[in-house]
Amino acid sequence: MKNIISSKYIFFFMILLVACAEEEELGLDIFYDSYKIDKIEITVDRDIFFEGDDPVVFSARAIDRTENPVELFDFKLVVNNTDTLPDKTFIPTESGQYTIRAVANELESNIVRIWYVLESDIRELNLSYEGYTNLTTNPWSVVGDFSLFTKINGIPVDVTKSAIPFVVSDGSQTIQRDGLSFSTPGTKTVRASFNGVESESIVFNVREEKDYEIVTLPIVYHYINKTPNESEIQRAIDSYNRIFNNQNIRLNDNELVNQWENPNWVDARLNFVLAETDPDGNALPFLGSRVINTMSTLESEQELLDVIRSNNWDPNKYINVYVTDDIFYEDATRPILDGENLQGLTSLNSENVTDSRNKLNFISNTNDPYNSNMLGKYLGLYQPGMCTEDYCDDTFSYSSTYRPFGGTGGVNDGGRYNIADDCSVASVNNPTVFYIKNIMDDQIRDVDIADPETGNLTAERIREVITFDQRERMRTVIDHAINRPTAKNQ
């Protein structure tokens, strides 16, 4: 019994000696805290490093079984499951991908992967750009993010954040990736170049901004079986002028470097006014509107079109907009051109001249006087969404995976579309997300935005962008369309 007791004391003493030795090596606090560790997480300050960069620095976080952080603990780093780093930094010597994990108290952390690239191993560069390549000089022409890749051991490696310079067509070089801008018109190119290795060039078409005279267009709202709402009408007109006659286009700084903020936003220089008199010169009881009472509630599109046909005012003097609660019907008559050809629009010829001049010209907005999409259609624009052709090179054709509209029929603040890189096949796996802001992005009415302080509705809308090419189409319509209240047709 005595020998057994002595053996126990000796064994206990040996454990104590080992423990004390470990305490002395790690420090008393670190030693005891290390045994509390239940989980380790490791992070690295970058995921790609280049020759000449500072050493790779790792940091680790440990938590105990109660999810509380362990403040004092030590860990080792293991590289590629073979090498143990003597400290918490790493200086690779060969290009390639490295896996790193931390080990403490026989617990292993998550694995982080880093790339290291030697300059001599960069033998190809692939530059891509998914934003708008058509730009304007005024009010701004900003290029969004680029992506730059090389290959290491046959594997694509993202080197966008490297110091590899971009060479611009004027010979200048820059390492700027966001917000690269052009102030003069013309064809511009950007390519990556490093140690004699060059990427393909991205070509940009920078158009010089044009200064148009303001054109004023009168609108009359025909309210069918409904009393005109004066404040609603005024808000609609104010919204149209805020969008189509926008002389104060402004973007936030963070938007200027976002390629999905269209850099071709322009002022269309179109001004809308409420009609003051009817075709006989009589003053309207409600400014810009009149009431049409039918014998009964309209129940079909054909009944609505019959009412429009018998009540439409001269389209060469008014934009006729119809508003009713009776039936949902939103549409607009596309313009017909005289002496000019424009893709997507009909031109007068000897065969269709009579029918074209007698064609019904109107906008139907259902129960609200405002719909910028229908007004755009009336002036010759098409919807770019769902990969349909809108004949404008500076709008983005997209494929929506879900409709972003709320129950009121307007765009909610989180409404967005997924863009398809190739409109024949939607990019399901890696879609690019952007907020819809163009007036033609969807035909459903865009709701008015309330003042955050007062709660009152304002003229501000979510979709307010008109692009350079859209403006050019509308100005061609203004100059050449029949049945539009323009100077040509007076």
- Per-residue pLDDT tens, the chain, 490 aa: give them: 334 334 333 333 333 333 334 444 444 344 444 457 888 898 887 788 888 888 878 888 888 888 888 877 778 888 898 878 777 777 788 898 999 998 887 888 999 998 888 888 999 999 988 777 888 876 556 676 788 999 988 889 988 888 889 999 988 998 887 777 787 899 999 999 998 999 999 999 999 888 899 999 999 999 999 999 999 999 999 999 999 998 777 654 444 445 556 778 889 999 999 999 999 999 999 899 999 999 899 999 999 999 999 999 999 999 999 999 999 999 999 999 998 999 999 998 767 776 767 788 999 988 889 999 999 999 999 988 767 789 998 887 766 544 443 333 333 344 455 555 556 554 555 555 566 788 998 766 677 788 888 888 888 887 888 999 999 999 999 999 999 999 999 8
| CATH code at 35-119 | 2.60.40.1930
What tokens does 402 get?
């879900």
Q: Look at strands 48-50 and 215-224 and give their pairing.
A: unpaired
The reply to whether 35-119 and 122-207 are identical in fold is: yes
What tokens does 281 get?
């010169």
Residue type, 319: I
Pick the CATH number of 122-207 from 2.60.40.1930, 3.30.300.30, 1.50.10.20, 3.30.365.10: 2.60.40.1930
pTM: 0.75
Q: Dihedral through CA 302, CA 303, CA 306, CA 311, nearest 10?
A: -140
Sheet holding 96-104, edge to edge: 48-50, 107-117, 96-104, 76-79, 83-85
Strand partners, 90: 56
Residues, the chain: 490
Dist. CA 441–CA 437, nearest whole Å: 7
Q: Which fold has domain 215-489?
A: Collagenase (Catalytic Domain) (3.40.390)
Answer yes or no: are the C-beta atoms of 396 and 132 closer than 8 Å: yes
Answer yes or no: are the C-beta atoms of 169 and 189 closer than 8 Å: yes
Structural element, H or E, at residue 19 = helix 2-26
Q: Look at strands 48-50 and 202-207 and give their pairing.
A: unpaired
Answer yes or no: are the C-beta atoms of 102 and 90 closer than 8 Å: no
C-alpha angle 212-213-216 in degrees, rounded to nearest 5: 125
Where exactly are the structural domains of the chain? 35-119, 122-207, 215-489
Dist. CA 290–CA 221, nearest whole Å: 6
Distance of CA 95 to the CA centre of its chain: 36
**Residue 374: other Cβ atoms inside 10 A:** 22
